[in-house]
Amino acid sequence: MKKHKSHEVNERTRLTFGARVRNYFFTGLVITAPIGITIFISWSFIQWVDGWVKPYIPSMYNPDNYLPFSVPGVGLIFSLIIITLLGFLTANFVGRSFISFGEVMLGRMPLVRNLYRALKQIFETALSQKGQTFTKAAVVEYPRRGIWALAFVATDTTGEVEHRIAQRTPEDSKDGHLSVFLPTTPNPTSGFLLIVPRKDVILLDMSVEDAAKLVISAGLVSPDFVKKNVAHEDKEKAQTMLEEA
């Protein structure tokens, strides 16, 4: 009987030790995996830029010709310097004249002009200081009623799109519409543009960054809304009920 009990105790100890080792492993993985992936992506990007730019760097400015080893990041630094200088030169009248002349030449090329205009509009929208970015996260019913999807609010719907929708569905268009971007998992850079009635969009308190994490992790990483906000909301509701009574 004693031997049987001691065997059970040893078995529990082994299981506990194995569970501890497993927990230690996953804890270390959570810490090291993001760091390792970030370093790998950054290093790959630096090497990719160096591979494109270094062959065009004059020999007297390339430190690889003076050192017995290759210096990483030289191509990236030269790229940043050249892009900054181009921005400085095009900010004056002469530079803008050259840019205008170049755009006129590109405008005469049937296929190239469409690609250039599309890329220019994308970069101007994304990098312009006056350009708007996603400021709110929201949930909308998609692809049918009863199923909710996480989305990012882009802007109020205006122009012909809003006008045509208001003509077709005047009842749903009283409060206007919102243009929302519905991202896909796990790549939030692709998705769908939806025009949704304002009344059907539920705005969230979480930041756009937290919402992006939720999308990328397929719902596994969720912000601590309950711990931070629910208690405060319950207090506000109780205070409102007391005031109404």
With 0-12 / 13-18 / 19 or more C-beta atoms within 10 angstroms meaning exposed / middle / buried, residue 208 is middle
Of 149 and 11, the one with more pLDDT: 149
**Domain ranges, residue 161:** 136-224
- Encode pLDDT of 221-233 as tens digits: 877 765 555 555 5
Is the pLDDT at 10 greater than 60? The verdict is: no
Name the average pLDDT for the chain.
81
Instruction: Confirm whether 41 is domain-assigned.
Output: no
Instruction: Confirm whether 200 is domain-assigned.
Output: yes
Instruction: Confirm whether 235 is domain-assigned.
Output: no
Residue 12 is predicted with a pLDDT of 52
Instruction: Confirm whether 230 is domain-assigned.
Output: no
With 0-12 / 13-18 / 19 or more C-beta atoms within 10 angstroms meaning exposed / middle / buried, residue 165 is middle
Instruction: Confirm whether 237 is domain-assigned.
Output: no
Residue 2 is predicted with a pLDDT of 46
Instruction: Confirm whether 243 is domain-assigned.
Output: no
- Encode pLDDT of 187-218 as tens digits: 887 899 999 999 999 999 888 888 888 888 88
Confidence class for position 33, pLDDT limits 50, 70, 90: confident
Instruction: Confirm whether 202 is domain-assigned.
Output: yes
Give me the CATH number covering residue 186.
2.30.30
Residues present in the chain in total: 245
Mean pLDDT score, 10-38: 79
- Residue 120, sorted as left (phi over 0), alpha (psi -120 to 50) or beta, turns out to be alpha
Of 14 and 64, the one with more pLDDT: 64
Residue 227 is predicted with a pLDDT of 52
What's the total number of domains in the chain?
1
50 contacts 75 by C-beta, under 8 angstroms: yes
Instruction: Confirm whether 176 is domain-assigned.
Output: yes
> What is the Cα–Cα distance from 153 to 85, expressed in whole angstroms?
35
- Encode pLDDT of 126-143 as tens digits: 666 455 567 799 999 999
How many CA atoms within 13 Å lie on the side-chain side of 237? 6
